[in-house]
Chain A
């Protein structure tokens, strides 16, 4: 983090919204991509990004060391996206009579955008916890201890969930290849 960013954070700590707007400009991609990785939905990722920055601004006064701002912000974003993914999963489990045609049309909505399709297909079937751990490891390059600290879970759970996530993604990729060959 450069001196200019540190000065912006100090100003934002004193309630300067203009300074915080510049911080948002510098960090929005980082937060958005973390949220997108976990949620695989652009609209939801933008909502989570907005919530993350609003929450960060309100809690900024409590941040003692400005140097830790990026990791502090990433933790807020990850937890917020993880909660949103859990909430979404809960809502989806309540929709029992969702017929196959609805599912197909929802999937077709993404076929136009290759990246989102890749994301959707890679993350389909993973639990919110597995997705979050996978994103923290592959996108944020966090080690197991850091992931365990962010999600407040034991390090052994991180290891097993990550293994399950990879196993699941591999199975999906193979099933996909099988369908393409047919």
Chain B
């Protein structure tokens, strides 16, 4: 093995990454070649110089705090997005529910149930007989108000959770 052929092998030899038979071949060449020995020594001195230059450099002292601040900021933005999405989703769900109740058989059934209740307990609800509202409308309105209150409380909870951040 001559110096030209040894090139890449010498680098791998230095890193002890050659198979045993090639390690032996390079070692025997090194025993008789000053130039390659010098190259090997240069590998070590370059590595030493490089490691020393890097290891003496330290990051700024408050790096962890700026990273923590960035993480908190990211968490806040994520929470903001979550609130916006929650509000939109709640509004859409409420709209769908009310529309669904009004147009679906459930709405009509509720209307009929309301009529039956009105007939059966009409005596007790004498005030109703003078009013122009059907009991179904009252139930529907109550359900909608209930849902509205639930949505409002949910949003309030999300906002309160968000505030301390």
Report A83-108 CB contacts with B as 1/0, cut-off 8 Å: 00000000000000000000000000
B58 touching A29, Cβ below 8 Å: yes
Instruction: List CB contacts (< 8 Å) of B126-151 with chain A.
Output: none
**A166 in contact with B46 (CB, 8 Å):** yes
A115 within 8 A of B: yes
With A122-B50, A122-B53 already in contact, the answer to whether A21 and B65 are too (CB < 8 A) is yes
Contacts of B28 in A (CB 8 A): none
Given the complex of chains A and B, what is the CA–CA distance between A75 and B67 in angstroms? 19
Whether A122 lies near B46 (C-beta < 8 A) is yes
A9 within 8 A of B: no
Question: Does B77 sit within 8 A of A, measured CB to CB?
Answer: no
* Interchain CB contact under 8 A, B63 and A17: no
Pair B57/A36 contact, Cβ less than 8 Å: yes
- In the complex, chain B residues whose CB is within 8 Å of the CB of A20: 68, 71
Q: Which of B76-109 contact A (CB under 8 A)?
A: none
Could you tell me which A residues sit within 8 Å of B by CB distance?
A: 17-18, 20-22, 24-25, 28-29, 32-33, 36-37, 42, 45-46, 49-50, 53-54, 57, 115-116, 118-119, 122, 134, 137-139, 143-144, 159-160, 162-163, 166-167, 169-170, 173
Interface, chain B (partner A; CB < 8 A)? 7-8, 10-12, 15, 17, 39, 42-43, 46-47, 49-60, 63-68, 70-72, 74-75
